[in-house]
Amino acid sequence: MVYCWIDNVKLYYDKVTRTTHNTPGVETRIPGWGDPEVVEWIDPTRNKAGAYFKDIANVLADLGYVRRISIRGAPYDFRRAPNENTQFFIDLKQLVEDTYEANNQTAVTFITHSMGSPMTLVFLQEQTAEWKAQYVRRQISLAGAWAGSMKAVKVFAMGDDLDSFALSAKILRSEQISHPSTAWLLPSPLFWKPSEVLASTPSRNYTMAQMHEFFNDIDYMTGWEMRKDTMRYTQNFSPPDVELHCLYGDGVSTVESLIYKKDTINGETPKLKMGYGDGTVNQRSLRACQSWEGYSSAHISTLALKGVDHMGILVHPDVLQYIRTVMLQP
């Protein structure tokens, strides 16, 4: 079952076109455009473990919002970075305008999570100030991976078991590292200094400035090529210039760097040196939205929730109440 998933979801990088494609014979479709159900539940069987925006959608419904009319869903191919999601951005703009018109010309609120926050940032950066003033009321970001995460470095090095004892990180790695989005979510040079150590061996360090060497030594230069393809989005950290509510968890043990026992790192499993964040995204990335204060044309509010992890923020009572309060405002 796991190997079937890997074959179906893995991407293949074309160095000539600098784009990716599916395994031959595999066609990818994004279901339910505009329907919130596809983002309320990752698992269409509605298994409890597959709940995503469900509780937030229920809060909105309790306030009088209506699914598929004033509560909309905008799913996208999470494997790909902004450079390969052009059609998503086109469709998203149309969805915003359609929803605005269908609701008595009411400006929309984006509620985003994790990678969805920087994806929305890219979208908003590409819109005119006039368009945003008319169509966008605010963005509520939950656990936004604004400046990337050291977890992406960990994934390239050893894979990720998705916090499941039943899954093997090493087996999943080949699929996970094929995603350009993983390269896009590598630590941002705007928030990690060139001299900061990402990984170390008994004889050397791999710093931010030496990421190219790290990819060479794990024998996956495709990761470096994808990093270059997406760097323009990482380096543009201009504010969204819409009212922003930036909520995130903090104080949870989060990967800070990798420590190898041997000098040869390819195929080796490093020890994880831990720091703080929400268990997935590092503290400095979660807090990156604060850097816009004083530079954004719109108001920015931030709220840190101690001990709340990356997925727990979606169901935390304080977060649900915060959303309820904000959405009651005109």
What's the pLDDT score for residue 306? Answer: 98
* pLDDT reading at 3 higher than 90: no
Q: For the chain, which residues make up each domain, given as ranges?
A: 76-327
What's the pLDDT score for residue 131? Answer: 98
Closest among 60, 83, 82 to 70, alpha carbons compared: 60
What's the pLDDT score for residue 146? Answer: 98
What's the pLDDT score for residue 1? Answer: 65
How many Cβ atoms from other residues are within 10 Å of residue 26's Cβ? 12
Give 115-165 as a 3 state SS string.
CHHHHHHHHHHCCCHHHHHHHEEEEEEECCCCCCCHHHHHHHHHCCCCCCC
Sheet containing strand 300-306, edge to edge, reads 108-113, 136-142, 243-250, 300-306
- C-alpha span between 74 and 61 (Å, rounded): 17
Q: Where do the H-state alpha helices sit in 136-260?
A: 150-158, 169-176, 180-184, 211-217, 221-235
* Cβ–Cβ under 8 Å, residues 14 and 222: no
Which letter does DSSP use for residue 291 in this model? G
- Reported as a single tens digit per residue, the pLDDT across 177-217 is 999 999 999 999 999 999 999 999 999 999 999 999 999 99
What's the pLDDT score for residue 2? Answer: 78
Q: When comparing pLDDT for 148 and 45, which is higher?
A: 148
- Distance, first Cα to last Cα, the chain: 48
What's the pLDDT score for residue 43? Answer: 85
What's the pLDDT score for residue 162? Answer: 80
- Reported as a single tens digit per residue, the pLDDT across 310-329 is 999 999 999 999 999 999 99
pTM above 0.75, yes or no: yes
Q: What is the mean pLDDT of the chain?
A: 96
- C-alpha span between 207 and 194 (Å, rounded): 6
| Residues with catalytic function | 114, 278, 310
Long-range contacts of 159-167 (CB under 8 A, 24+ apart): 167/2
* Cβ–Cβ under 8 Å, residues 141 and 246: yes
Strands 271-277, 205-207: pairing is: unpaired
How many Cβ atoms from other residues are within 10 Å of residue 17's Cβ? 8
Buried b (16+ CB within 10 A) or exposed e, 34-67: bbbbbbbbeeeeeeeeebbbbbbbebbeeeebee
Longest dimension (CA), the chain: 65
**77 CB-contact burial (10 Å; exposed 0-12 / middle 13-18 / buried 19+):** middle
For 140, the token pair is 């509520």
Closest among 163, 168, 21, 52 to 114, alpha carbons compared: 52
- Reported as a single tens digit per residue, the pLDDT across 89-102 is 999 999 999 999 99
Q: When comparing pLDDT for 168 and 109, which is higher?
A: 109
CA 230 vs CA 128, 199, 241, 282: distances in Å: 22, 22, 22, 20
pLDDT range class, residue 163, cuts 50, 70, 90 = confident
- Reported as a single tens digit per residue, the pLDDT across 276-321 is 999 999 999 999 999 999 999 899 999 999 999 999 999 999 999 9
What's the pLDDT score for residue 5? Answer: 82
What's the pLDDT score for residue 205? Answer: 98
* pLDDT reading at 164 higher than 90: no
- C-alpha span between 295 and 171 (Å, rounded): 44
Tell me the chain's radius of gyration from C-alpha atoms. Answer: 20
| Chosen CATH of 76-327 out of 2.60.40.10, 1.10.340.30, 3.40.50.1820, 3.40.50.300 | 3.40.50.1820
CA dihedral 37, 38, 42, 47 (to 10 degrees): 30
- In 3-state terms the chain splits into helix, strand, coil percentages (rounded to 5) of 40, 20, 40
- Reported as a single tens digit per residue, the pLDDT across 216-248 is 999 999 999 999 999 999 999 999 999 999 999
Buried b (16+ CB within 10 A) or exposed e, 168-178: ebeebbebbbb
- Reported as a single tens digit per residue, the pLDDT across 8-39 is 999 999 999 999 999 999 999 888 999 999 99
